[in-house]
């Protein structure tokens, strides 16, 4: 079994405790021991004898990042209907390239919030697990399940068009397609319960999926042991999701008091990821693609962002797990820049840098369903590690704009990216 000894590193273990100068021993794919540095090497465990040494030269060693809202098959295009024009073969290769990009950016685990075609995530996940592709550990999703007129329905009456969603109406059609996705091996079912800004027939404050439709997807997911994630912006949509056991709530920015109460009541079971990145960049950085700040404001995005900031602060205060993940994969919010969300959490939500990093690592391990395995530097955990030059607590921006590329270790192995 290969052993690696990290010396001269500042260990940011993501327990929430302050970092310390220390050493970390990795045996095989797992962390074997972590200890504070001292002047002598007497206290090193015997397994450290003969280990390959990585001298961090004072760099920060932290757990690999987790992306809880990944869209590896979204190809940074300005218009989502362009996703529907890419054949599956080319689309698979491009999804694989994004998997490598996210790993290079420090993400060793990703939970998918939808793929643009049914088997893109599944095929890439399996190739990564087989060791045939570099990429993060991936929980695969299928396309977003939406209803006629809902987010992702881009059809026109006289034209066939598709993007990242499959349009289904009624419990029976949703049940059948959910079973099909389970058969094809997805881990995550994504349902668009509420509308969204920019979807004329279904704005963010509308709840367009019915109780019976949500129940149908959740029943099938439960039967197959899969998990459900919901696009739910307003309070009614959040409450509908929670009534049927949805575990991952995306956005929740227009939550009302009753929805906040219910999220708090279920906080041991559920996760919230507001996806600040996409809203922020659509408002402030999309003018090159024809979306000015004034246009974003006309869509109500400034109000949605302000409400979201207020609600996320409130949910964090109530002990709800609020995670980054900013809907990266669009022209102005590109895959590979995902760690910007950590900075958004600090700057917009008022999280401390430590709280934001813990949300992106330790809570990330929890949303991956592997709380004892992923997201901390502790004996027994997988050695998914990031060696960052500098101090991300002093400057969280280092995580997405490193002075030198991060060194990324997955299962104890330095990734050549
Ligand atoms: Zn998304």
pLDDT tens series, the chain, 417 aa: 899 999 999 999 999 999 999 999 999 999 999 999 875 666 788 889 999 999 999 999 999 999 999 999 999 999 999 999 999 999 999 999 999 999 999 999 999 999 999 999 999 999 999 999 999 999 999 999 999 999 999 999 998 899 999 999 999 999 999 999 999 999 999 999 999 998 999 999 999 999 999 999 999 999 999 999 999 999 999 999 999 999 999 999 999 999 999 999 999 999 999 999 999 999 999 999 999 999 999 999 999 999 999 999 999 999 999 999 999 999 999 999 999 999 999 999 999 999 999 999 999 999 999 999 999 999 999 999 999 999 999 999 999 999 999 999 999 999 988
Q: Where in the chain is the domain with CATH 2.30.40.10?
A: 3-63+373-414
* Ligand 1 centroid, distance to 171 Cα (angstroms): 23
Q: Identify the CATH class of 65-338.
A: alpha beta
CB atoms within 10 A of CB 397: 16
Helices 88-104, 120-129: axis angle to 10 degrees equals 50
The Cβ of residue 354 has, within 10 Å, a number of other Cβ atoms equal to 18
Strand order in the sheet with 188-192: 165-167, 144-146, 188-192, 227-234, 248-254, 271-273
CATH topology for 3-63+373-414?
A: Urease, subunit C; domain 1 (2.30.40)
Would you state the pLDDT for residue 40?
A: 64
Cβ atoms of 234 and 204 closer than 8 Å? yes
Sequence ranges of the chain with CATH classification 3.20.20.140:
65-338
By the 8 A CB rule, do 287 and 235 touch? Answer: no
pTM: 0.97
- In this structure, what is the dihedral angle of CA atoms 343, 346, 351, 353, given to the nearest 10 degrees? 60
Instruction: Identify the pLDDT of residue 41.
Output: 60
Query: What's the 144 CA to ligand 1 centre distance in angstroms?
Result: 9
Instruction: Kindly give the distance from the C-alpha atom of residue 110 to the centroid of ligand 1, in angstroms, as a whole number.
Output: 13
What is the distance in A from the centroid of ligand 1 to the CA of 141? Answer: 11
**Residue 91 pLDDT:** 98
**Separation of 179 CA from ligand 1 center, angstroms?**
22
Residue 71 CA to ligand 1 center (angstroms) comes to 7
Q: From the CA of 278, how far away is ligand 1's center (Å)? A: 9
Ligand 1 centroid distance, CA of 383 (Å): 28
Tell me how far the alpha carbon of residue 146 lies from the centroid of ligand 1, in angstroms. 13
Residue 330 CA, ligand 1 centroid: distance in Å: 10
Residues 6+ apart with CB under 8 A from 273: 68, 69, 248, 249, 250, 251, 322, 323, 324, 325
48 CA to centre of ligand 1 in angstroms? 43
Q: 77 CA distance to ligand 1 centroid (A)?
A: 14
Which residues, listed in sequence order, are joined to residue 65 by a DSSP beta bridge? 107
The pLDDT of residue 160 is 87
Q: 408 - beta bridge partners?
A: 386
């Amino acid at each position: 079994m290969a052993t690696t000894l990290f010396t001269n590193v500042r260990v940011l273990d993501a327990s929430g405790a302050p970092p310390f100068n220390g050493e970390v021993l990795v045996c095989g794919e797992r962390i074997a021991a972590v200890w504070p540095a001292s002047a002598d090497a007497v206290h090193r465990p015997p397994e450290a004898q003969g280990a390959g040494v990585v001298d961090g030269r004072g760099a920060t060693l932290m757990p690999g990042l987790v992306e809880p809202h990944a869209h590896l098959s979204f190809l940074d295009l300005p218009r989502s209907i362009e996703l529907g024009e890419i054949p599956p073969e080319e689309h698979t290769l491009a999804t694989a390239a994004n998997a490598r990009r996210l790993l290079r950016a420090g993400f060793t685990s990703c939970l998918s919030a939808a793929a643009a075609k049914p088997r893109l995530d599944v095929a890439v996940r399996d190739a990564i697990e087989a060791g045939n592709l570099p990429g993060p550990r991936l929980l695969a999703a299928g396309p977003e399940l939406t209803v006629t007129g809902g987010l992702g329905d881009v059809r026109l009456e006289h034209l066939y068009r598709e993007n990242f969603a499959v349009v289904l109406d009624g419990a029976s059609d949703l049940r059948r397609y959910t079973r099909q996705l389970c058969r094809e091996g997805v881990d995550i079912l994504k349902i668009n319960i509420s509308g969204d800004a920019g979807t004329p027939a279904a704005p963010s404050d509308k709840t367009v999926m019915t109780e019976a439709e949500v129940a149908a997807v959740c029943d099938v997911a439960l039967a197959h042991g899969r998990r459900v994630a919901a696009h739910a912006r307003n309070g009614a949509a959040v409450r509908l999701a929670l009534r049927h056991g949805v575990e991952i709530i995306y956005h929740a920015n227009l939550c009302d008091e009753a929805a906040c109460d219910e999220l708090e009541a279920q906080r041991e079971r559920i996760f919230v990821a507001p996806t600040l990145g996409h809203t922020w960049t659509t408002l402030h950085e999309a003018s090159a693609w024809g979306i000015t700040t004034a246009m974003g404001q006309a869509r109500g995005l400034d109000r949605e962002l302000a409400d979201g900031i207020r609600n996320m602060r409130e949910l964090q205060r109530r002990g709800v797990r609020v995670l980054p993940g900013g809907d990266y994969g669009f022209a102005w919010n590109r895959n590979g820049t995902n760690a910007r969300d950590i900075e958004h959490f600090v700057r917009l939500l008022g999280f401390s840098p430590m709280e934001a990093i813990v949300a992106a690592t330790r809570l990330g391990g929890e949303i991956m369903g592997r709380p004892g395995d992923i997201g901390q530097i502790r004996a027994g955990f997988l050695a998914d590690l990031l060696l960052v030059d500098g101090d991300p607590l002093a400057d969280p921006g280092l995580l997405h704009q490193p002075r030198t590329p991060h060194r990324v270790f997955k299962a104890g192995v330095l990734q050549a990216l």
